[in-house]
Amino acid sequence: MTWLPADFVHPLRVPLPDGVHHLRPIREADAPLDYPTVMGSREHLWSIFGPAWGWPAETITYEANRIDLARHEKEIAAHQSFNYAMFDSAETAIRGCVYIDPPERVGADAEISWWVVADRVGSELEQALDALVPAWIAADWPFRQPRYLGRSISWQDWQALPAV
C-alpha cells in the first residue's frame, strides 16, 4: 500500500497510562472475547458506526465476526489497515478498539476512529483512550494529516466529503 512507507513497522503493544489496559492488533483468535464485547455494546456501537459503516449489524453471528477478525488480521499483516483491540492486562476482556485506515475521503492521509464498551462510556478509561490515540498517532505513525472520525470531523460531515 502506498499510504505507509515500505519500512514502517506497526506497534505491537501500546500501554495505556493506567498500567492495566493496552492496545494490540486484533487476531482471529480473539473472537471468543470480541463477539460478546461487540454484541454487548451493539446499540452504542451502532450509534457511532452504523450510519457510515452499517456495523455492527443486529444479526451478526459469531462465525461472521470470526471471519471479520480473520480479515482484519490479514489486513494488518499486509499493512492495509489496522484494528487494535484494547485489552485488560491479562487479555481476558476487550474494552474497546481503535481503527487506523487509509483515507476513504479526500483531505487526509489516514482515518482513525475508536470506541469503548458501552459501560465504560464517560469513564476514566474512555478519557485515557481519547487522550492516548492522537498522541500515539503523532508519535508512532507516519501521518501528516490524520483525520479523527467522529472527533475532529463529524461522521455526517465526513460522509459528505468526496471519495478518494
Q: Does the pLDDT at position 39 exceed 50?
A: yes
CA–CA dist 114, 85 (Å, integer): 10
Q: Tens digits of per-residue pLDDT, 49-66?
A: 998 999 999 999 999 999
C-alpha cell at 30: 480473539
**Residues contacting residue 3 through CB under 8 Å, at least 6 positions apart:** 102, 103, 109, 110
Mean pLDDT of 16-37: 97
pLDDT of residue 33: 98
pTM value is 0.96
Mean pLDDT across the chain: 96
Alpha helices by DSSP H, listed for 98-152, are 124-140
Q: Does the pLDDT at position 123 exceed 90?
A: yes
CA–CA dist 4, 142 (Å, integer): 7
pLDDT of residue 1: 44
CATH number assigned to the domain covering 21-160: 3.40.630.30
Mean pLDDT of 27-34: 98
Percent of the chain surpassing pLDDT 90: 98
pLDDT confidence bin for 130, thresholds 50/70/90: very high
Q: Tens digits of per-residue pLDDT, 67-113?
A: 999 999 999 999 999 999 999 999 999 999 999 999 999 999 999 99
